[in-house]
Amino acid sequence: ANRAWDLPSALEFVEEAKNANSSILSILEFVEEPLKKQAVGKKWSIIDQVIALDNFWNIGEIDYALDESLADLAKDCDYNFGNIAADLRRLFGDRVNRPHGCAAFVLKPALIGLELSLQLAKLAHEEFQISAVFSSSFDSGIGLAFTSILAAVSDRAPFSSKVKKYAHGVGTFGMLGGDTLSPSFESYLSKEGLVNVNSLSRALYGLSL
């Protein structure tokens, strides 16, 4: 949804979806950032955003994922992981006393960096039992390659063994007219849409990247 709706519009979507398919709640994995940016007194905060999203979840009964809010939080904290983690722990660190509907953190390395993306994935998996989805921002094949490698490392790490895995978002190559990577990123995909990360890693190594 990419912050497209106010709460009534988001709930209208939920009702229309239920009317179209009564099994929708068991099919939809999550809705990505359904609500507009929540600014109180012209100032945005991750706390206000998540409170609004949890209100949507409580009423609509559909999980959500954080995306733009993580990038905004990173910017507000000057990309300092300690400060970012402290805010997120206040929101997601106590699921018993503060239940929430966040199913996934959508992490875009092109926006928040490679290291911070992996740090947030580890935090989400290890402390919050929230999934991490690595996603592109219409990157070139080189950017998609690094995103795919981070996703593979995160998915196979010990801290992610008990967390649900979702598909990662590296399919934007089809919307670009060309690729800076040769052979192209698309050539490393199987017919099932799986990325051959080992071959891709060797290709980047061969390019000294």
Q: What is the pLDDT of residue 40?
A: 77
What is the share, in percent, of the chain residues with pLDDT greater than 90? 69
Distance of alpha carbon 74 from alpha carbon 77, whole angstroms: 5
Distance of alpha carbon 49 from alpha carbon 52, whole angstroms: 5
Q: Give the model's confidence band at 58: pLDDT under 50 very low, under 70 low, under 90 confident, else very high.
A: very high
Average pLDDT over the chain, rounded to an integer? 92
Name which residue leads in pLDDT, 58 or 204: 58
Lowest-pLDDT range of 36-40, 64-68, 90-94, 113-117: 36-40
Distance of alpha carbon 69 from alpha carbon 36, whole angstroms: 10
Q: What is the pLDDT of residue 161?
A: 85
Q: Give the model's confidence band at 173: pLDDT under 50 very low, under 70 low, under 90 confident, else very high.
A: confident
Taking only the tens place, the pLDDT of each residue in 87-114 is 999 999 988 788 999 999 999 999 999 9
Sign of the CA dihedral with 54 first, then 60, 64, and 68 last: negative
